[in-house]
Structure 1
Amino acid sequence: MNDFRKLAEALPQIIWTCAPNGSLEWINDRWEELTGMTVEEARRNKGGLQMMHPDDREQVTQSWAVALATGMSCEMEYRLRNRAGDYVWHLAKVAPMRDENGAIVRWTAAAFDIDDRHKAEEALRASEAALRQSATEARARAEELEALMDAVPAAVWISDDPECRILRGNKAGYDLLRSGPGKNLSKTAEDSADTRHFEVFVNGVQVPHSELGLQRASRGIEVRDYEEEVRFDDGEVRYLYGNAIPLRDCDGSPRGAVGALVDVTRMKEAEAAMREAARRKDEFLALLSHELRNPLAPIITAAQLMEMRGGSATPREREVILRQAQHMVRLVDDLLDVSRVARGKIMLSKSRLQLADVVARAIEAISPLLDQRHHHVTVSVPDDGLSVDADEVRLTQVIINLLSNAARYTPPRGNIVIDARREAAEVVLRVRDDGPGIDGDLLPHVFEMFVQGARGSDRQQGGLGLGLSLVKSFTELHGGTVSAANNPDGQGSEFTVRLPRLSGSSHPPASKEPPSAPPPPRPPGARSVRVLIVDDHVDGASKIARYLTRAGHDVRLAHDPTRALSLTDGFRPEVAIIDASLPVMDGYSLGQELRSRMSGAPPRLIALTGYGRDDTSRGEEAGFAASIPRPLNADLLVRLLDAIEAL
């Protein structure tokens, strides 16, 4: 027995022996080293059980009782509390020792430290549980993603290889391409039978299969804001918009792509319908403007003739007819200009202009309205140094519309200030008034068509709400900008027009006026022709008249239709050169009136126009022999007169 105990003391396990009845006899030093409890304490009232984990005591007690009752060996796993207060797992193996008669004379037991193994098993079980949980969650996420993909109204396609040989899609993707679930949607598949019923086009050109959006993205090219049209073999067309993004391996190599595209067919159809509606609206405005102008021209002419013939009867009525008819002409002209802007039919005839000259012409044109409302106008515009490259008619119209707006919305006897100066590379024109200002909600929309400020019950402001819209359009056609703001003091508003400034002589003037060089030699025997020039561009018309006079022709000059008609009886022109864009009565209507009055010997008509083929065609319909675009080539005009005289 002593040898047994010596051997047991040398072992790292806890070794102990018990009497046949199970009471503790001896335990090696490993016990006290581990637990800090002496053998005497362990023997006293089964004190060793106190070192076991409370959850393990009942199981150990039962297993030991069964062994004692049956005389069979047993194994038990339990936790012992060490000196540090931590529990350490042990495996105890207990076996009986018997004499030659088979009677139990002693029980021997050994407890092995299995804490590391037990912790490893627990970690493995936890890992397996976590793995099972992760797999469960992954399946749930995959199901959620699949449901989400099918719920998304956009078509989503996924490729898993750089060549995009296989393309899978969500329900919307399969439905969009009119294909069954699970089919390969790739145009670059080894067998593309599932996609033969459609082709893809961009800007009307069929896209090679290798250059489709998903195919390019699969090769590593990011494709964004991609638009394409899918044309099916039965004639249906679907328009798509979206992105295709590469998928990459850990080393950055492309391994496929994911694409998401939205069916925008309805939006495209709606846009086309809106464009068609806008086109019809513009055509209607153009037609309405022309049809309204036709009866207005003879009304104005008749009123002017009544004025010329004098007479004391109904002078007030004649004045009302003329004023209201002229107002109608201005409204119709605004409608016509809006239609031309919308259709891109406005062509500018630019020349080098001094802004002061343009402002002066605008004030002259708007002066009746300023006088009627008794406004005080202050002009601060330098005579020189503010050169712009502009269409004189359209820039004058910009300023007229700004002044008209200020005059109409400023109470009588108000103040209007016109200021212009050079700021860096721009010419800046400002028109200020001391009226009520612009409502804050209206200010961001003041340059939109048909937008107007509040009107009084007498509607004295008038107009269609087109003037400021034309200001913006014409200014932008000149490469400039226009803005509106209320004055800081709360009184009135300020409109600011910014135009590119011309400097030096690097930009030669594209003048509408003929050069001062002598006219070309005329054919032998050419005679003098009576020429009537009707043009509201005073300076240009005067130079044309002087040039033709030097060429040997008899010339009369008028700056408005009324004056032109008054000259016909005494002068009897053989040729009339008429500005097509005259105010009040346009040049074509005036030409028709001249031919009607002089039906016995009607003059040959020449139109001065800057509006291109539309007005040229109208001139031919009105009986004009020729149309000359601005800027005017005076030599060409002289040769044209000689050719007409020779007919």
Structure 2
Amino acid sequence: MNLELMIDAATTGERFPRELEILRQLADGLPQIVWVARPDGSHEYYNKHWHDYTGLTLENSTDDAWCELLHAEDRERAQALWHEALQRGTPYEIEFRLKRVTDGAYRWFLGRSLPYRNTNGAIVNWFGTCTDIQEQKLAQDALRRAHDAMQRENVQKDEFLGMVSHELRTPLNAVFGWTRLMQENVLSEDERAQAMDSIMRNSQAQARLIEDVLDITRIVNQKLSLDRCVLNPWDVVTEAVEAVLPSANTKGVTIKSSMGAYDLLVSADRMRLQQVVLNLLTNAVKFTPAGGQIRVEIARQRGSAAIVVSDDGQGVSAELLPHIFERFRQGDSSSTRHHGGLGLGLAIAHQLAVMHGGDIEVESAGRDQGSRFTLLLPIVAVGNPEKPEVDVLAAIEDQSFPAQSLRSLHVMVIDDEASVRDLLALTLAKCGASVTMASSVEDALALLPNLSPDVVVSDIAMPGLDGYDFIRQLRALVRPGGADLPVIALTAYASLQDRNRALEAGFDRHLTKPVDPAELVRTIAVSHSSRRAKAAAER
């Protein structure tokens, strides 16, 4: 059937009535708005979907009615493109928002129109469709927002990596510089003492930075777990305050603490809870000027145990406040910032609080108005917790360095790093021990049949056979002492999972690198004493 004749039938209703009805049924069955316009752009046909969506009849569907239906932001653009298509006789395509009559909501549509020409090239009609693309637009917007968020996070990560490099190199520079001067023997006794103090302080600072990076990585990868017990949070707060007090005194900042509730008990990982409180206190000291004051309080709030750390320092700007616990986010990440650090402390503290079933809330009136951080933890009981058994290691006298505490002991050290072996051998020898060194598990196993060490200190990650291979073969030995010889894991694998795996494998204790030499010596002494006590009890 000739299309011109069909069009003529559509306009007059007198010719080809059956074909006309088929066309109308087809158009009404489409999920799109279908329309036909005259050469001047005036509409002469709409399908049923147009009437259902707009509530308009053909007679009411004027240009003004179209303008009313179009979103105000799309109206001018849509009209301009339509008039341009009419003048040039070119196809028309546009995305716009159209109001729905049932609820007044605007939905996105893709509008398309093509001119139909007769044999002479003159435009006879315009055929158009409007396709609902609301879901596609929402998906596009979501993808765009996700992309923008990823871009922002990538920028923050780049800034963070730059800060990591800066913050790790800064203490390393002090360690390297002072060590070099000591090698050259150009320092006086007082300067050597200053050098040693600076090396120790900066080494500890670098260890804390590395631990923060590892913690946030464990949290992101859901590899961090908690070793819970029932405890009174006041004990944890007291220890944290004592730890941060020297830096507060040096800066001239006062710390005052009060206890509004004495008997609240929580279920928490003691070490991780102390880390949270310490991070809050360290943050308060960092951003409180000399002469300022920090207050620490424990109270009951909204049915939870609340540890409140408030200060009268720098405060938090309104722009930063909603993002204060985000990773890779700092108030000032520029090269001219006044405060160092990676900006991970609060992010770690918040995540640890959430893992405990709690939260951290922050309040600040703005810059220079101080801040208030409230750690909320679920209360599991009221009263006094059962006293845990005293750790033998903690009961040993806390000397600055336990010299001669290993007298007459024989210690075997297994580590593939020569510098580690040398440091451990010198440390243990200074404490009176005789030391056998092995650079691999294979060497250690070859030496053992002819040795009777009192304690073994072993690395875990080594080429060839590792520490787990060693402990498995050692515990399988039938010779006396093989099964109960104290073995201490000294490793860079520092997570709770790593510790549990080492203990389950057969190690007696787990220490992480870098280790305080005094802590290592005390651990060896305790391990040996525990073995002797066990042997005496079995006799």
Greater RCO, CA 8 A, separation 6+? 2
Q: Which TM-score applies when normalising by structure 1?
A: 0.41
Decide which structure has the larger Cα Rg and report it.
1
